[in-house]
């Protein structure tokens, strides 16, 4: 009877052990399920956060697909809402739309205010290489043989010429004589400040009264000198025959007198710049010297000048070198041309036709090129 009892005892023990194992496995499974559920909840929470961040990124971006770096930059921007912080791009777009090259514009703007910036000098350039290209219009001198300064009068469309003998002459472009006036002084240069007025300004190498260098204001309507501006304080040659030889007027809207007079001393080749009270007064003879300069070092015999308002340059001729130069009003030389003859002392430019008029004091001829 002991064997059956032993068997029953073993079976009972085995059943107990199997029951315990089943309970443990169920507990492990429940814990695993709980862990999975917890992990799933954490994962879901993380997904919600990412989704929330992504949504925030899209909402604060100005464009779809904005990078995280762009979004972070914008999120820390302290600019007020609605402010466009992309200023450079907007500026560039504006520049591109106008077609303006900023660098080039800056250069042009800076050059427009600098008197040493070379202007254009090609429109009416002439090499004067062949004397045969000139047309002889000497008949316009009316028998006078010492022409020394020219002026093309844009308002009257005529050529004025001054003569060493004190004569002021007027002719047309073909050499047809029109008028003459006698001033009684050694005239070497001529210019006009206001073409709409009756006044011309005559450069005097030496006054008949005291041999001083001067500028005479002359009324061509009445045929009389209205006032004399004495320049001898600044222009006083040791040789009386080497005094004022060239004269021109450079307009300037910022100048209270409408511009300045440029007078050259033949003896030294120096150019003197003067302000005369031609607007502020009708009687004052006060002279103000602004500056002086020598365009070409070592060159004397500067015999005439003519200002071209279109190009903003002064043309000057040198009798001894038979050369014409162009220069800025501050004296920077831009170009030069050889002249065909000898003794050329007067020059004028008709800007409308690009014709040059040259007076030859040696031969007493007047040429048109």
CA distance 296 to 31: 106
| Res 107: pLDDT | 26
> For the segment 247-285, what is each residue's pLDDT rounded down to a tens digit?
999 999 999 999 999 999 999 999 999 999 999 999 999
- Give the model's pLDDT for residue 22: 46
Question: In residues, how long is the chain?
Answer: 369
Give helix 2-60 / helix 68-75 axis angle, nearest 10°: 70
Q: What residues does 150 pair with on adjacent strands?
A: 161
The Cα–Cα gap between 24 and 158 comes to 128
User: pLDDT at position 273, please?
Assistant: 98
pLDDT of residue 125: 63
Distance in angstroms (rounded) separating the CA atoms of residues 153 and 157: 5
Q: What is the token pair recorded at 311? A: 């190009």
pLDDT of residue 59: 37
Say if residues 124 and 351 touch (Cβ distance below 8 Å): yes
Look at residue 225 in the predicted model and tell me its pLDDT. Answer: 97
325 Cβ neighbours under 8 A, 6+ residues apart:
295, 296, 315, 316, 317, 318, 333, 334, 335, 336, 337
For residue 240, the model assigns a pLDDT of 85
Task: Specify the pLDDT at position 169.
Answer: 96
Q: Which fold has domain 131-368?
A: Neuraminidase (2.120.10)
Residues in the chain where the model's pLDDT stays below 70: 1-123, 125-133
The domain spans of the chain are 2-62, 131-368
Q: Return the SS3 of 171.
A: strand
Burial of 81 (0-12, 13-18, 19+ CB in 10 A): exposed
């Amino acid at each position: 009877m002991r064997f059956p009892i032993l068997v029953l005892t073993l079976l009972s023990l085995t059943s107990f052990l199997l029951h315990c194992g089943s309970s443990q496995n169920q507990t492990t499974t429940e814990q695993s399920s709980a862990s999975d559920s917890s992990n799933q909840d954490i994962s879901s929470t993380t997904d919600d956060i990412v989704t929330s961040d992504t949504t925030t990124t899209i909402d604060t971006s100005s464009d779809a697909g904005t990078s995280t770096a762009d979004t972070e930059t914008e999120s820390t921007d302290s600019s007020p809402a609605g402010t466009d912080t992309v200023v450079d791009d907007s500026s560039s777009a504006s520049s591109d739309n106008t077609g303006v090259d900023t660098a080039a514009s800056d250069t042009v703007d800076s050059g427009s205010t600098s008197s040493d910036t070379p202007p254009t000098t090609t429109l009416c350039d002439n090499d004067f290489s062949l004397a045969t290209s000139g047309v002889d219009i000497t008949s316009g001198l009316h028998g006078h043989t010492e022409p020394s300064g020219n002026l093309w009068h844009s308002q009257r469309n005529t050529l004025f010429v001054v003569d060493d003998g004190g004569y002021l002459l007027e002719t047309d472009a073909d050499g047809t004589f029109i008028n003459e006036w006698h001033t009684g002084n050694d005239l070497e240069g001529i210019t006009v400040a206001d073409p709409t007025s009756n006044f011309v300004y005559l450069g005097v190498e030496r006054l008949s009264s005291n041999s001083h260098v001067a500028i005479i204001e002359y009324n061509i309507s009445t045929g009389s000198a209205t006032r004399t501006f004495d320049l001898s304080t600044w222009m006083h040659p040791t040789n009386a025959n080497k005094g004022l030889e060239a004269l021109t007027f450079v307009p300037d809207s910022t100048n209270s007198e409408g511009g300045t007079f440029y007078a050259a001393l033949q003896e030294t080749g120096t150019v003197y710049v003067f302000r005369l009270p031609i607007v502020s007064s009708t009687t004052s003879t006060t002279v103000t010297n602004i500056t002086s300069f020598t365009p070409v070092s070592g060159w004397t015999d500067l015999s005439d000048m003519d200002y071209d308002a279109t190009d903003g340059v002064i043309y000057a001729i040198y009798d001894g070198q038979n050369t014409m130069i162009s220069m800025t009003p501050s004296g920077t030389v831009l170009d030069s041309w050889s002249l065909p003859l000898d003794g050329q002392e007067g020059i004028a430019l008709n800007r409308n036709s690009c014709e040059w008029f040259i007076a030859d004091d040696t031969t007493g001829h007047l040429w048109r090129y």
